Amino acid sequence: MDANLKDFILMLADNNMILGQRLGEWCGHGPVLEQDIALTNIALDLIGEARTYYQYLAEKEGKAEDDYPMLRSERAFKNVLLVEQPNGHWGQTIVRQFLFDCWHYFHLEAMVESKDATLAAIAEKSIKEARYHLTFSGEWMIRLGDGTEESHEKMQASLNDLMPFFDEMFDPASYEVACINQQISPDLSSIHSKAIAKVQSVVSEATLDLPTDYFARKGGKTGLHSEYLGHILSEMQYLQRAYPGATW
């Protein structure tokens, strides 16, 4: 398989995988039962989507789907820095989710036209879920931004903290450029326009201020991660690493 295509698929897979893993930490600890269920639902969708990408790679490379999430080390992961950020409080999780959903939804919308038929089919299937995620996180942005004084402050602080991780999703890594040239990946600037318009409209309805003066953080897409990822992987990969070759 073409190395650029492989890295591109890994980026898509790892984004969903790591965010799904993070959301799984909430299960049983949500602020109210209904929202516990809703967040677990999103985790299920994201890990489910990640799994379809890993299966695609596994089939092409004659490996097992679990080899990718369970047996690669930190530097081989291609997810953006945003998704590995800690859950924090519910509001931080919502802001992280909303920023991700703005990329995820519009990216999938464009991926439906990908020249890679498998990726296009995965996008077709996943976009319905991503649309629901965006509605969910957008509604919570507004509810908490325009809720109480306390919730407003918490949301503003979370937005300020996480906005620096937004741009990475739209800044093409070298493997993406190659895939853009082959029309496997969409052009990211048009997705950025749609995503930022959505961010602006929701942030404004949430009565929050969109930070613009920040230093954009990047590196995850090319394997340069925060310290958080190592801890995520040591939990996630524990059994596969401790008992090599076992079937579960």
Partner 1 sequence: MSPNYSLEANFQNRIDNEEKIEPRDWMPDAYRKTLVRQISQHAHSEIVGMLPEGNWISRAPSLRRKLALLAKIQDEAGHGLYLYSAAETLGTSRSEMIDLLHAGKAKYSSIFNYPALSWADMGTIGWLVDGAAIVNQVALTRTSFGPYSRAMVRICKEESFHQRQGFDILYTMSQGTEAQKEMVQDAVNRWWWPSLMMFGPTDKDSPNSAQSVKWKIKRLSNDELRQKFIDMTVPQAAVLGVTLPDPNIKFNEKTGHYDFGEINWEEFYQVIAGNGPCNKERLAARIKAHEAGQWVRDAATAYAEKQQQKKSISVA
Q: How far apart are the first and last CA of the chain?
A: 28
| Residue 115 near residue 123, CB atoms below 8 Å | no
Smallest CA-to-CA distance from 43 within 66, 18, 24, 30 is with 24
Q: Measured between alpha carbons, how far is 98 from 96 in angstroms, rounded to an integer?
A: 6
Task: State which of positions 188-207 bind partner 1 (CB under 8 A).
Answer: none
* Shortest CB 184 distance to partner 1, Å: 24
- The residue (of 56 and 166) whose beta carbon lies closer to partner 1 is 56
* Placement of tokens 């052009």 in the chain: 187
Report how far apart, in Å, the C-alpha atoms of 193 and of each of 4, 17, 59, 113 are: 25, 25, 35, 18
64 token code pair: 């097992």
Task: State which of positions 104-143 bind partner 1 (CB under 8 A).
Answer: 142-143
Task: State which of positions 88-107 bind partner 1 (CB under 8 A).
Answer: 89-91
Please tell me whether residue 24 adopts helix, strand or coil conformation: helix
Using rule CB under 8 A, residue 65 touches partner 1:
yes
Using rule CB under 8 A, residue 25 touches partner 1:
yes
Using rule CB under 8 A, residue 224 touches partner 1:
no
* Shortest CB 91 distance to partner 1, Å: 7
Tell me the window of 85-93, 105-113, 126-134, 190-198 that interacts with partner 1 (CB under 8 A). Answer: 85-93
Using rule CB under 8 A, residue 211 touches partner 1:
no
Q: Measured between alpha carbons, how far is 211 from 82 in angstroms, rounded to an integer?
A: 16
Q: Which residues bind partner 1 (CB under 8 A)?
A: 21, 24-25, 27-37, 40-41, 43-44, 47-48, 50-51, 54, 65-66, 69-70, 89-91, 142-144, 146-148, 150-151, 154, 232, 235-236, 238-240, 243, 246-248
